[in-house]
Structure 1
């Protein structure tokens, strides 16, 4: 699977033009090589809703009995006007992300915490796109 380069507004895992980093997870002591970045877009009613939704994702991640082993990290950014969230998610590879979505429940297990994330009031799923990791793009330029 050939992946496109990340869009130009992505400066790094923690810096996206027009967005503020809100929360990150994963990566601590990770020896996994990032093979794919997934930008997940979520539309929200306002910044309060955006932050509450991201916090609910972290509750669901912490309580997930069987998280997918291909997931490496997540960095949640909230747009300056508070009406959109982008999750910069790092995966071992694109196929790991495909596999994590294969059961139709999203990336999480079918738990009450994940159902809360999926039906959160004031939140609309916007979709996702898989990209080449930033490090690979930078190496090709150098």
Structure 2
């Protein structure tokens, strides 16, 4: 699967123009990043954005079957608080597709993940897969 390059406003895992990094998980797995997934969520306000991200971390912590292709996630909140971008690193695009499993979201069908998927004031607007930054790929391999 050929992936496009990241948009220019995304400089890396911790640097997205116009957004502030809020929370991160991983890396540290020693896995090579083969795909970056940008998940975009619109929110009513900054409090909702933070609460939604926090609910993702609750769901991640209680996940009974984490997908082995997931490496890390970095959640950025736009300066006006009305949008979240999750910069998620995966071993491959195929791993990400497999993790979705036709459910429209990553994660098992648990109460915590249903809360994330049906969070009041948060609406998913996009999921796009990209090539990881070249420097990142080389750093993981070395």
Task: Give the TM-score taking structure 1 as reference length.
Answer: 0.93
SS in 1 for 2:47: helix
Please tell me whether the aligned partners of residues 5 and 137 of structure 1 are also in contact (alpha carbons under 8 angstroms).
no
How far apart are residue 135 of structure 1 and its match?
2.6
Residues 67, 137 of structure 1: CA spacing in aligned structure 2 closer, same or farther, 3 A cutoff? closer
Q: Tell me how large the CA RMSD over aligned residues is.
A: 1.5
Structure 1 gaps of 5+ residues are none
- Aligned counterparts of 1:60 and 1:136: Cα–Cα separation in 2: 31
Q: Are 2:94 and 1:60 aligned? A: no
Q: Would you identify which runs of 4 or more consecutive aligned residues in structure 1 move more than 6 Å?
A: none
Task: Give the TM-score taking structure 2 as reference length.
Answer: 0.93
Bigger shift: residues 96-105 or 63-72? 96-105
Please tell me whether the aligned partners of residues 40 and 127 of structure 2 are also in contact (alpha carbons under 8 angstroms).
yes
SS in 2 for 1:74: strand
SS in 1 for 2:49: helix
- Aligned counterparts of 1:54 and 1:70: Cα–Cα separation in 2: 21
How far apart are residue 26 of structure 1 and its match?
1.5
SS in 2 for 1:31: coil
How far apart are residue 12 of structure 1 and its match?
1.4
- Aligned counterparts of 2:62 and 2:104: Cα–Cα separation in 1: 15
- Aligned counterparts of 1:6 and 1:108: Cα–Cα separation in 2: 24
SS in 2 for 1:5: coil
- Aligned counterparts of 1:65 and 1:133: Cα–Cα separation in 2: 28
Structure 2 gaps of 5+ residues are none
- Aligned counterparts of 1:39 and 1:124: Cα–Cα separation in 2: 15
Q: Are 2:34 and 1:35 aligned? A: yes
